[in-house]
Amino acid sequence: MALSRCAVSAAFLTLAAGPAVAEPAKAPAPSAVSYYKTVRPLFQQHCQGCHQPAKAQGGFVMTGHADLLKKGNSDEPGVLPGQPDRSAVVRMMTPQGGKPAAMPKGKPPLPDAQVVLIKQWIAEGAKDDTPATARLVVDADHPPSYLLPPVITSLAYSPDGSLLAVTGYHEVLLHRADGSGLVARLVGLSERVQSLAFSPDGKYLAVSGGDPGRVGEIQVWDVAKRKLKLSVPVTYDTLYGVSWSPDGSKIAFGCADNSLRAIEAETGKQVLYQGAHNDWVLDTTFTADGAYVVSVSRDRSMKMTEVATQRFIDNVTSITPGALKGGLLTVALRPRQGKAFSKVPPDTPGAAPKPYEEVLIGGSDGVPRLYKVHREAKRVIGDDSNRVREFEGLPGRLFAGEFSPDGRRLVVGSSLEGQGEVRAYEILYDKADDRGLLLSGLPTLRRSPLSPLLFARDFAAPPRLLSKFEGQKGAVYALAYRPDGKQVASAGFDGTVRLNDPVTGKLVKEFLPVPVGVATAGGGR
């Protein structure tokens, strides 16, 4: 079919004009650097441990935008909008005169890419894009206010029995141990406070917590001075299960990145990292000699790690699928177990025997269990040879477990559908053998022919249920044995602290640990 004259003319004109020349693509304008989304998280991770209201090193605070524009002990403002080269923050983060960057102090310098982002933000005017809902200031001068009591995740008695530490929102509340009054409020950066532990000498309080999905933090407070001694940001999520080494030199904790870690209590320097777990590590405890850390996780395992070498040594629990019905949430070392030693497994010739130690664990299946820490039998697929004793299950999940100071009793707390339960047990004896443990305050007759007669009946009998605690009205997440062994504190979802007699279960006292009134935005539960 012949082409029309118009079509031919159009085609000719197109060919004559040649191919169309595309305009060069314009490079997209660089987006402005966000203070709230980009710069603030960098300061949280690297700087706020030393520059916060509770610990303003150099007189300089970096937790709020307005604080960054102020001067510290020097004559230079931390941030001078539009002038990164005249901003003290940039100067301290970059090498000067051939010397390495001064900040972060005692830590590796910030990566160049992060320094570039901070400088760009300042050059663009150091604008504050913090959302209005995130402008709440929480510090010692502006403590949290509560409309409802906060969920209590941890309790801890001071070693001398005078204080009871209670978790709150952004804070730890120090109460008199008898519940007669609030002594101090230790307000820190972490929104969520997950666990507490006093140092062995009682001088310091370690706190694990953080801002979920943003930063984790270990705090160390000077109890007498009510001052923050150390703030160590770790990982990008909340931290759990804080514990002290027996000599008070190290602090262990679990992380949501599946790692177990420990730091020096004096400096905050990391001295242990173990990545053998496959899920969140929720609780930790040192062995009595401080040589090992035992950790439990949502991955249904309890693991032992050597502190000096950072080596994962062994799975204390069975690794057979189905041996444990769910994740583990709590672990506690049994105190005062005498001077006996575990037998060396047959597959480790030449190894020295380890002190015989037991731990209490609990978790999703609600069953408290006692385990030996150190393996004595050759590992066989499917075995659970370290297990010493299994208790009757509690309703729901077991969130907390603690031994009495003499190691003869224990308490466990659980939750099911919003209802909690606490039980106290008496454990008269350890496993029947010739270890020579101190049982019920009397030395075992290690080689006496009377040993089987003395202990066979008690070993065969299950632990004695002492009591079920009165007054529990909600999920129980936290327990603490008073150092004299005569009282147990419990708390959980309803935000009330209860003090019970562990022998009778009688409720002695209950109290709200926080002042409850009209809450400010972001405060309370």
Handedness of CA 361, 394, 493, 335 (dihedral sign): negative
pLDDT on residue 353: 85
Residue 436 pLDDT exceeds 90: no
Across 46-50, 57-61, 472-476, 497-501, which has the greatest mean pLDDT? 497-501
Residue 161 pLDDT exceeds 80: yes
Biggest CA-to-CA distance, the chain: 123
* pLDDT tens-digit readout, 368-396: 999 999 988 887 777 888 999 999 999 99
pLDDT on residue 28: 56
Q: Which residue has the higher pLDDT, 241 or 455?
A: 241
Tell me the two tokens of residue 191. 């929104």
Give the mean model confidence (pLDDT) for residues 15-44. Answer: 67
Query: Which residues make beta-bridge pairs with 232?
Result: 218
473 Cβ contact partners less than 8 Å away, ≥ 6 residues apart: 420, 494, 496
Least confident of 89-93, 403-407, 444-448, 509-513: 444-448
Residue 333 pLDDT exceeds 60: yes
* CB 385 within 8 Å of CB 376: yes
Give the mean model confidence (pLDDT) for residues 81-102. Answer: 81
Cα distance between residue 250 and residue 268, in whole Å: 9
pLDDT on residue 139: 83
* CB 35 within 8 Å of CB 128: yes
Q: How confident is the model at residue 429 (pLDDT cuts 50, 70, 90)?
A: low
pLDDT on residue 15: 40
Q: Name all domains of the chain by residue range, CATH numbers in brackets.
A: 35-134 (no CATH), 155-427+463-511 (2.130.10.10), 429-462 (no CATH)
Cα distance between residue 167 and residue 403, in whole Å: 20
- Give the residue among 302, 289, 296, 301 at the shortest CA–CA distance from 250: 289
Q: How confident is the model at residue 24 (pLDDT cuts 50, 70, 90)?
A: low
In Å, what is the CA distance from 444 to each residue of 119, 195, 222, 337? 70, 37, 41, 12
pLDDT on residue 2: 45
pLDDT on residue 262: 98
Q: How confident is the model at residue 228 (pLDDT cuts 50, 70, 90)?
A: very high
Handedness of CA 306, 312, 314, 317 (dihedral sign): positive
3-state secondary structure of 257: coil
Cα distance between residue 464 and residue 423, in whole Å: 11
Least confident of 146-160, 296-310, 391-405, 458-472: 458-472
Q: Buried b vs exposed e over 108-117: b needs ≥16 C-beta within 10 Å?
A: ebbeeebbeb
Q: Which residue has the higher pLDDT, 168 or 25?
A: 168
pLDDT on residue 52: 79
pLDDT on residue 39: 85
Q: How confident is the model at residue 437 (pLDDT cuts 50, 70, 90)?
A: very low
Q: Where are the alpha helices (DSSP H) in 423-483?
A: 451-460
pLDDT on residue 485: 96
Cα distance between residue 468 and residue 466, in whole Å: 7
Residue 11 pLDDT exceeds 50: no
- Give the residue among 398, 441, 389, 447 at the shortest CA–CA distance from 423: 398
Quote the strand ranges of 407-485, DSSP E: 409-416, 419-426, 438-439, 442-443, 464-468, 476-481
Give the mean model confidence (pLDDT) for residues 430-438. Answer: 40
* pLDDT tens-digit readout, 117-127: 888 888 888 88
Across 107-111, 120-124, 478-482, which has the greatest mean pLDDT? 478-482
Cα distance between residue 398 and residue 393, in whole Å: 9
233 Cβ contact partners less than 8 Å away, ≥ 6 residues apart: 44, 45, 46, 48, 49, 215, 216, 217
Q: How confident is the model at residue 25 (pLDDT cuts 50, 70, 90)?
A: low
Residue 458 pLDDT exceeds 80: no
Rg over CA atoms, the chain = 29
Cα distance between residue 190 and residue 198, in whole Å: 18
Tell me the two tokens of residue 436. 């020579």
CA dihedral 54, 60, 62, 67 (to 10 degrees): 110
Cα distance between residue 26 and residue 41, in whole Å: 32
Question: What backbone phi and psi angles, to 5 degrees, belong to 40?
Answer: -55, -45
Q: Which residue has the higher pLDDT, 106 or 240?
A: 240
Q: How confident is the model at residue 59 (pLDDT cuts 50, 70, 90)?
A: confident
